[in-house]
Amino acid sequence: MTITAGADAAAAQTERARVERSVHLRENWKYLTRNVAFPAQWTDDGAAFVYRKTVEGGFAFVRVDDRTLEKSAPFDAARLAEALGKETGEDIDPLRLPFDGFTYADDGKAIELRADDTLYRCTLNAYVCAEKTEEDERPRGFGVVRDLRVPANNEPSPSPDERFEAFVRDDNLALRDLTTGDVVMLSRDGSPGNFYDPETLRWSPDSSHIAIHRVRPGHARYVTRVEAAPDTQVDPVVHKQLYPKPGDAVDIEQPVLFDIRSRRQIDVDNKLFPNPYRLSPPDWRKDSASFAFDYDRRGHGQVRVIAVDADTGGAHAAVTEDSDTFVYADRRFRHDVGDLGEEMIWISERDGWRHLYLIDSRRGRVKRQITKGDWIVRDVVKVDDDSRRIWFSASGRRDGEDPYFVHYYRVNFDGSDLTRLTEANATHTVSFSPDMTRYVDVYSRVDLPNMMEVHDAEDGALIATMETGDISRLETAGFRPPQPFTAKGRDGKTDIWGLVVRPRDYDPARSYPVIENIYAGPHDNFVPKRFWPFGYHSGGDKVIGMQAQADLGFIVVQIDGMGTANRSKVFHDVAWKNLDDSGFPDRIAWMRALAKREPAADLSRVGIYGASAGGQSALNALLFHPEFYTAAVAYAGCYDNRMDKISWNEQWLGWPVDQSYLDASGVVNAHRLQGDLLMIVGEQDSNVDPASTLQVADALIEADKDFELLVVPGGEHSVGRSTGPIDYVQRRQFEFFLRKLSAPGGLAPD
């Protein structure tokens, strides 16, 4: 017995050491690259651009003169670190400054930067940093319900001709004559339940009119959280957060027009925008003849740009976008050509792909489709009305390339002279100079470190190579890039793209459990395409985290199934009222294709983990596909979409709340659970109501289902991983999969 106990203890100690090694892999590897440059930012005058890159021990900022391309330091990093440290009360390493970028201020004599969500201004002569006060508007819960506990910014708004100023008094619009000081009430129908919002007040350029929204407040729902173990006191602390949920009444905004000369009030007829989810503030045309605003219909099935005549208050739809499923609110784009409201550049998916259109805004109809084909426009960089040209990014246009790779193009308004400006088979991030004569291109793949080049913006010709990423030390430490893999999806025709991460001691003759890193939110695609393996800004999962898991004896994969963004409209629409799908039929087909090619992938032992929407998907894998998935770690999941934020859930499940919300609910379907489940949640999650996790736990207990639950006191939506026990929760995940999937072997500890 003693020998056995001793052997068991030694084995446990070895396993713990393996886990600890994996947990710290990211920190051990993060600073081993050199000259890996991040996207550049031009100065306002175009005289230089600035970027951040990896150096020995951390990061450094570089300034490049546009004319000579000579490099210099934009500031003294040591002095800046000391000055910022004095202001924040923290010790700051000059090679690990706590910000990714900055902007110049005071004609280059100072910089402004954001660290830990706080804005600072730092002088570059005396090196003094101070927190900069930001002019805050009244907060809105997920953009649709005003927090009436906070006063609106009611700073008087001066007219462009400086004769008057307008403001709100007792919920009504008031006008002060700046010559006499006399105040006139322009409205008298405002009340606390139907008030004029000063933050939406807009003067016409010629000072003849004011447009403003009158607001009927929505439902002020609050989520209450108890912080059980605060740092500042012994007793718990209660936090309340304005948190509208699906189906709640939103603020109803009514545009109102005022003629300053006649003091006439005109309510704009709302027949073209009868059921608003959200209206944008009034946007006056340059000639003051009209203003426009965006209308998003509740349920996201229709979007319009409404134009209003300044003299009559008559409204017409400058453009209407309808969908049988959803119009993606966060991907809209419009540009008024010439600022007179006659033409508009608009992005639409009406032909099944995301493309640019030229709109006749007076008649509300398409004049011309500018781009077309089985590919998508990603973002518009610039529209030049004079030359009638557009610069934009797109993906999926080049045969033989990953369809998610981003390239940059230029095209004329009439669709002619479509010119690709980026060439390398990689994904690109381009920063154009203010005069559009040059651009800085940073491109990479997961297996190609960042390259930075300067190009001529007219024809894309290479001017100079600025940086070439060096990962030799990272490779010496054992880094191997993940392998892209493509297989057909559920329909047997559509290519599904993903990545495979293998243990560094991978032996094809062995058998490895498979773990999927899932995030299936319909708002984007998530499989990394750029090189930076530690996480690129806030986007994408970290390849190193997948490698750390793989090193314990697993094959780890990440996949973009149907229902995610940046492919065709049909591909994206799979998510509509169907969040329980999560692309699982595509994911399972993809993994089966991988195992057919690579028998070392053991599909009798498949785990899955994810956070937020990925947490919901991880749970749903065991609820709806237990024949394939056997173990899941679910972080901070939005397990019941009725409990989650209004904005994200109504976008994909629509309004009103219907059966589709119940179909995807982990609470309603808890009785289906098969397999092993670990749920992890931060007690102070302000993104997803943490009660959602506890409601699943309650339903699982009611159904007599066994599971594991970890609540992190004080943890946010990141479950404390960014500010607290990163090693602890990561270790719990790793050990859970080792126990439940019984992965043999794995890298021995150093």
Residue 234 lies in a domain: yes
Beta strands in 164-274 (DSSP E): 164-169, 172-177, 183-185, 195-196, 202-203, 209-216, 222-227, 237-242, 252-259, 264-267
66 lies in the same domain as 212: no
Task: Name the average pLDDT for the chain.
Answer: 95
**Can you tell me the mean pLDDT for 272-290?**
97
Q: Would you say residue 311 lies in a domain?
A: no
CA distance 50 to 46: 11
Residue 12 has pLDDT above 80, yes or no: no
Element (H, E) at 276: strand 276-279
Domain co-membership, 78 together with 149: no
Residue-wise pLDDT tens digits, 699-734: 999 999 999 999 999 999 987 544 444 589 999 999
Report if residue 577 sits inside a domain.
yes
Whether the Cβ atoms of residue 145 and residue 219 lie closer than 8 Å to each other:
yes
Q: How confident is the model at residue 744 (pLDDT cuts 50, 70, 90)?
A: low
CA-CA distance, 291 to 202, in Å (whole number)?
A: 10
Q: Are residues 533 and 647 in the same domain?
A: yes
| Residue finishing a domain among 238, 255, 285 | 285
Nearest to 326 by CA among 614, 564, 650: 650
Quickly tell me which residue has 């927090």 as its tokens: 147
Say if residue 106 is in the same domain as residue 231: no
Give 269's pLDDT tier (boundaries 50, 70, 90): very high
In what order do the strands lie in the sheet containing 555-560? 483-488, 495-501, 555-560, 512-517, 601-611, 631-635, 676-682, 708-712
Nearest to 572 by CA among 750, 327, 235: 327
Q: Are 517 and 662 contained in the same domain?
A: yes
The whole-number pLDDT of residue 1 equals 42
Q: Are 128 and 273 contained in the same domain?
A: no
% of the chain exceeding 90 in pLDDT: 91
Rounded CA-CA distance 330/278 in Å is 12
Q: For residue 741, what is the enclosing H or E element?
A: helix 726-741
**Amino acid 176: pLDDT:** 98
Question: Do 120 and 148 share a domain, yes or no?
Answer: no
Instruction: Please state the domain count of the chain.
Output: 3
Q: What is the CATH number of the domain that holds 661?
A: 3.40.50.1820
145 domain residue, yes or no: yes
Quick one: pLDDT at residue 412? 98
| pLDDT of 202 above 50 | yes
Q: Is the CA virtual torsion 498, 503, 505, 511 positive or negative? A: negative
Residues 550 and 590 placed together within one structural domain of the fold? yes
What does the pLDDT look like over 167-176, one tens digit per residue? 999 999 999 9
Residue where one domain finishes, among candidates 134, 149, 178: 134
Domain boundary among 222, 250, 285: 285
Q: Is residue 318 part of a domain?
A: no
pLDDT score of 537: 36
By 3-state DSSP, what share of the chain in percent is helix, strand and coil, each rounded to 5? 20, 35, 45
pLDDT of residue 8: 72
Residue 78 covered by a domain = yes
Domain that residue 247 falls in = 136-285
* The pTM of the whole model exceeds 0.85: yes
pLDDT at 694 over 90: yes
Whether residue 240 sits in one domain with residue 91? no
Tokens of 699: 């339903």
Among 615, 644, 625, 623, which Cα is nearest to 733's? Answer: 615
Question: Does residue 632 belong to any structural domain of this protein?
Answer: yes
Q: Does residue 586 sit in the same domain as residue 658? A: yes
Confidence of residue 5 (pLDDT cuts 50, 70, 90): low
Q: What is the 3-state secondary structure (H, E, C) of 543-603?
A: HHHHHHHHCCCCEEEEEECECECCCCHHHHHCCCCCCCCCCHHHHHHHHHHHHHHCCCEEE
Residue 300, in any domain of the structure: no
Supply the pLDDT for residue 521.
96
In 3-state terms, what secondary structure has residue 459? coil
- Kindly state whether residues 630 and 652 are assigned to the same domain: yes
Q: What is the dihedral of CA 557, 558, 559, 560, to 10 degrees?
A: 180
- What integer is the mean pLDDT of 379-400? 97
Same domain, 717 and 699: yes
Residue 275 CA to residue 294 CA, distance in Å, equals: 13
